[in-house]
């Protein structure tokens, strides 16, 4: 199955069903189930407008989040170049559905782009 590395808190928001678009600078034609991997690094100042949106909705992000691990999975259903969604800031957005958050993160080293994981993780 393929995987996508995402910084937290964005990965956590995706697998917990809050964020349904992941922004990228590149397109994909891939459609299907993917693992969500969260990287080791986080930038507490990235995407300020989306951070403001989180606060305005009352979503409570845990203080401690997993890093360097597979934390769940979603279905990548489309790749768009515009949206009215508050999560979209482009230039491309991967539309995500059917999120599943794992009870325990699975330590795993991430990669750039969509990458293949050949072993069964769950």
* Structural domain includes residue 122: no
Q: Count of domains in the chain?
A: 1
Residue 90 in domain:
yes
The answer as to whether 121 is a domain residue is no
Report the distance separating Cα 107 and Cα 71, nearest Å: 9
What DSSP letter does each residue of 41-91 carry, written as one string? Answer: ---TTSSHHHHHHHHHHT----SS---SEEEEEEEEEEEES----TT--SS
More confident residue, 88 or 120: 88
110 pLDDT tier (thresholds 50, 70, 90)? confident
2: helix, strand or coil = strand
Domain with residue 86: its CATH number is 2.30.130.30
Within-domain flag for 110: yes
Can you give the pLDDT at residue 112? 81
This prediction has a pTM of 0.87
**Alpha-carbon span 55 to 122, nearest angstrom:** 33
Pairing of strands 92-107, 21-24: antiparallel
Query: How does pLDDT run across 62-106, given as a tens digit for each residue?
Result: 878 899 999 999 999 999 999 999 889 889 999 999 999 999 999
Cα distance between residue 28 and residue 41, in whole Å: 24
pLDDT the model gives residue 51: 65
Q: Does the residue 96 lie in any domain? A: yes
In a 3-state reduction of DSSP, which class is residue 23? strand
Condensed to tens digits (0 to 9), the pLDDT of residues 41-68 reads: 766 665 566 667 777 787 888 878 899 9
Domain with 112 in it? 2-116
Evaluate whether residue 66 is within a structural domain: yes
- 117 and 94 in contact (C-beta within 8 Å)? no
**The token pair that represents 39 in the structure block:** 């990287």
Other Cβ atoms within 10 Å of 121 Cβ, number: 12
């Amino acid at each position: 199955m393929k995987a996508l590395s995402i910084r937290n808190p964005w990965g956590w928001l995706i697998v917990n069903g809050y964020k349904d678009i992941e922004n990228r600078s590149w397109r994909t034609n891939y459609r299907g189930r993917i693992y969500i991997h969260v990287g080791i690094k986080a930038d507490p100042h990235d995407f300020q407008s989306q951070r403001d949106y989180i606060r305005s909705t009352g979503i409570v992000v845990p203080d401690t989040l997993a890093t360097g691990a597979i934390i769940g999975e979603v279905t990548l259903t489309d790749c768009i170049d515009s949206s009215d969604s508050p999560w979209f800031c482009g230039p491309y957005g991967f539309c995500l559905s059917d999120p599943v958050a794992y009870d325990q993160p699975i330590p795993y080293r991430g990669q750039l782009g969509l990458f293949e994981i050949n072993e069964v993780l769950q």
